[in-house]
Amino acid sequence: MNSTRSHKAQKVLERMGKKLNRQIVGSFAACVHCGMCTDSCHYVLANPGDPTYAPAYKADKIRKLFKRHFDWTGRVIPWWVNAKSVYTDEELEELKDTVFGKCTNCRRCSINCPMGVDFATFNRMARGLLVSVGIMPEGVAVVSKDQWEIGNQMGVLKEDYIDTLEWLSEELVDEFGDPRAAIPIDKKNADIVYSINPREVKYDPRTISDAAKIFYLAGANWTMPSEGWDMTNFGLFSGDDDLGGAVARRLYEKVEELGGKKLVISECGHGYRSTRCEGQNWAQYDLNFEMESSVTTMLRYIHEGRIKVDKSSNTDPVTFHDSCNNARSCGLTEEPRELLNLVAEEFREMYPNRAENFCCTGGGGAMSMSEYTPRRLKSAKIKADQLAATGAKYVVTSCHNCVDGLSDLIKHYKLGMKVTQLVNLVAEALVVPEKETAVPVEEIPAAAAGPLDGYKILVVDDEPDFVSFASAILEDHGASVVNAFNGNEALEVARRESPDLITLDITMPGKDGKQVFESMRKDPQLKAIPVCIITGQPELRKLIYDRSVPPPNGYIDKPISEESLMRNVRKILEIKQKATK
């Protein structure tokens, strides 16, 4: 190895040798640069004329290393086959931009390659090599750290998770008037152990209660684990097999500890792929229980007559978006359609579909890499056109990543569609048997009361799914919402848009929330705008209040609920909430 090579570059090359297997070597060696894969990539289609997005071009950024160090022609006459080594950290940064920022590992090029070159697989390998030397987008580092240290990729604390399940249980018990409707936690020897995406706890608890309703009405013997409940796995996106194995093992061991007979994985493309298809390989773990997607479970319940559904509950036209991980890596394409046809009146197919569908553009961890957001949204034009062509009002998908990716692009391209999941539609269509129906509890007034018509609110957060979540709530209540994903953008948008309120995250890449807040308070144009801090790190509150500027007008800890957000917003905007109860 060259003595002028940086330590990180040296490590990347050494570790590459250990990562190579026959499949990857075959894919490296077999490419003939025929260009057949080019138009299969949504990045290429959305960036005409720019060859740097072409799958073969991106693949060569990794392949050149293989050729230079592991392939004989490249070792002897490197220039003849474009073999090149890597020497500096800057070159590794450039590679990072390609493997993380220009590819979602959707595998669409792989199935369009005449030679069977599986670019997505070795792109993931390259991500893993970079991660192993600490070169990765900040979001990837943050999420990976949370999953290593806290046990789930959104840093949801155990008490918050349990709290959420408990209040959902209370609501379910109230709704059905039956204590058996509660969510069982850590029940031993259950037939089903249900695992979820932490996004459900943090932003979308309705998916948990909808699933719980279905299990309850089906009379399932089920449980949710108090720990090791996260079926997502950032190891798939970061390429870190160690993380992938550790996360998968945590979940498998919990199911075994509980004596569960089957692990049911809630609707999440990468979670399903990681847990069902890859986890055992990363963890080198053989299982003594079965696993299936909740889509399969719900469909089976209907077939077995354990739940009854009425499709007239879902009358709006719906289309279905196949998650890449479900369709192109796990073959889960027919069950969701069958289920959708049972619970929705008008299903409109999207073209292309199934394994040929285009990526939601938020896959491969893209939603956590805010530095690539403009690039991601530009490439989303392909998906936007595909969605618009269906004319559907709802796009249904079995993936939380896709929910966020699609929501973001729908907003960006002003498609006016809504995104939902099968579990929501099934729950909506459930026919509740008379004997199971409790006396309806008094209707809880919607947190929505108190319109925000005429108000403009700037939501600042580096987590696109949080931005989508908060924006959707505020827009539903009539506010006009603008977004910013980092500190500099926040100041720019605030000056341009003069919002009535700013919700501000603290931890962001670049200029963080503390600096942004101080800048706003010192800026004559912005200082009068109310600011509500929303953060997942309450310990940072002191840093805000210790500053020599007027304090923020509100402060909310994540995870937030619709009610807490609206209560704070209304309070800050001095909207008098009409008492509805």
Partner 1 sequence: MSHLLHFAEHTLQEVALLIMAIVYTTRLIWLMRFKAGKERQANTGKGDTSSRKGIIYSWANIAMPWAMESSRKKFFLYSQFVIFHLGVVAAIGLSFIIPYAPQLLGSQVLVAVLQVIIGAACLIGAYRIIRRIASNYMRAISSPDDYFSLVLLTVWFFFAFWSVPNNTSGGETILLIYFFMTAFFLIYVPFSKISHYLYYPFTRYYLGKTLGKRGVYPVRRYSEEARS
Other CB atoms within 10 Å distance of the CB of residue 110: 22
* Torsional class of 237: left (φ above 0), alpha (ψ -120 to 50), beta (otherwise): alpha
- Structural element, H or E, at residue 356: none
Quote the longest CA-to-CA distance of the chain. 81
For partner 1, which stretch binds (CB under 8 A), given 87-95, 106-114, 130-138, 418-426? 106-114
Instruction: Tell me whether residue 24 or residue 367 sits nearer to partner 1 (CB atom).
Output: 24
Residue 387 near partner 1 by CB under 8 A: no
Q: Of all helices (H) and strands (E), which one includes residue 28?
A: helix 22-30
Told to check if 462 binds partner 1 by CB under 8 A, we report: no
Closest by CA position to 272, among listed 146, 361, 400: 400
Q: How many residues does the chain have?
A: 581
29 interacts with partner 1 by CB under 8 A: yes
Binding residue for partner 1, selected from 5, 261, 311, 354, defined by CB under 8 A: 354
Q: For residue 237, which of 147, 110, 333 has the smallest C-alpha distance?
A: 147
Nearest to partner 1 of 402, 430 (CB atom): 402
| Minimum distance of partner 1 from residue 388's CB (angstroms) | 15
Beta bridge partners of 117: none
List the Cα angle 404/406/409 in 5-degree steps. 110
Of residues 241-280, those binding partner 1 (CB under 8 A): 276-280
- From 54-62, 487-495, 506-514, 571-579, span contacting partner 1 (CB under 8 A): 54-62
Q: 501: which strand partners?
A: 457
Nearer to partner 1, 145 or 354 (CB): 354
Size of the site for partner 1 (CB under 8 A): 69
Q: Which is nearer to partner 1, 55 or 530 (CB)?
A: 55
What is the closest distance, in whole angstroms, from the C-beta atom of residue 21 to partner 1 in the complex?
5
Stretch that binds partner 1, among 22-30, 170-178, 235-243, 422-430 (CB under 8 A): 22-30
Is residue 219 near partner 1 by the rule CB under 8 A? no
Query: Minimum distance between the CB of residue 276 and partner 1, rounded to whole angstroms?
Result: 6
Out of 1, 34, 444, 528, which residue is the one contacting partner 1 (CB under 8 A)? 34
Q: Binding of partner 1 at residue 391 (CB under 8 A)?
A: no
Q: How far is the CB of 115 from partner 1 (least distance, A)?
A: 6
* Residue (73 or 577) nearer to partner 1, CB: 73
The amino acid occupying position 241 is: D
Question: Segment contacting partner 1 (CB under 8 A): 35-43, 190-198, 419-427, 568-576?
Answer: 35-43
Using the rule CB under 8 A, is 38 a contact of partner 1? yes
CA distance 84 to 61: 9
What's the angle, vertex CA 47, arms to CA 42 and CA 52, rounded to 5? 90
Identify the CA nearest to 522 among candidates 483, 481, 499, 494.
494
User: Which residues contact residue 12 at a Cβ distance below 8 angstroms, ignoring those fewer than 6 apart?
Assistant: 65, 86, 92, 129, 130, 132, 133
Q: Is 388 in the site for partner 1 (CB under 8 A)?
A: no
Binding residue for partner 1 (CB under 8 A) from 1, 2, 14, 73? 73
Q: Does 455 bind partner 1 (CB under 8 A)?
A: no
C-alpha 155/C-alpha 287 separation (Å) is 27
Choose which of 93, 94, 290, 310 interacts with partner 1 (CB under 8 A): 290
Site string for partner 1, 314-353 (x = CB under 8 A): -------------xxxxxxxxx-------------x-xxx
In sign, the C-alpha dihedral spanning 281, 287, 290, 291 is negative
Shortest distance (Å) from residue 217 CB to partner 1: 26
45 interacts with partner 1 by CB under 8 A: no
d(CA 509, CA 566): 27
One DSSP character per residue, 229-278 reads -B---THHHH--HHHHHHHHHHHHHHHHHHT-SEEEE-S-HHHHIIIIII
Contact region for partner 1 (CB under 8 A) — 76-84, 297-305, 425-433, 480-488? Answer: 76-84
Q: Closest CB to partner 1 among 275 and 407?
A: 275
The residue behind tokens 């959708």 is 340
Beta strands in 269-402 (DSSP E): 290-293, 318-321, 347-348, 394-397
| The binder of partner 1 chosen from 9, 16, 60, 223 (CB under 8 A) | 60
Say how many C-beta atoms besides its own lie within 10 A of residue 312's C-beta: 9
Of 6, 10, 85, 112, the one binding partner 1 by CB under 8 A: 112
Q: Which of 80, 316, 437, 527 binds partner 1 (CB under 8 A)?
A: 80
37 binds partner 1 (CB under 8 A): yes
Using CB under 8 A as the binding rule, whether residue 529 contacts partner 1 is answered as no
Pick 122 or 372: Cβ nearer partner 1: 122
**CB of 405 within 8 A of CB of 367?**
yes
Which residue ranges make up the site for partner 1 (CB under 8 A)?
Answer: 20-27, 29-40, 49, 51-52, 54, 56-57, 60, 72-73, 79-82, 110-118, 276-281, 284-286, 290-291, 327-335, 349, 351-356
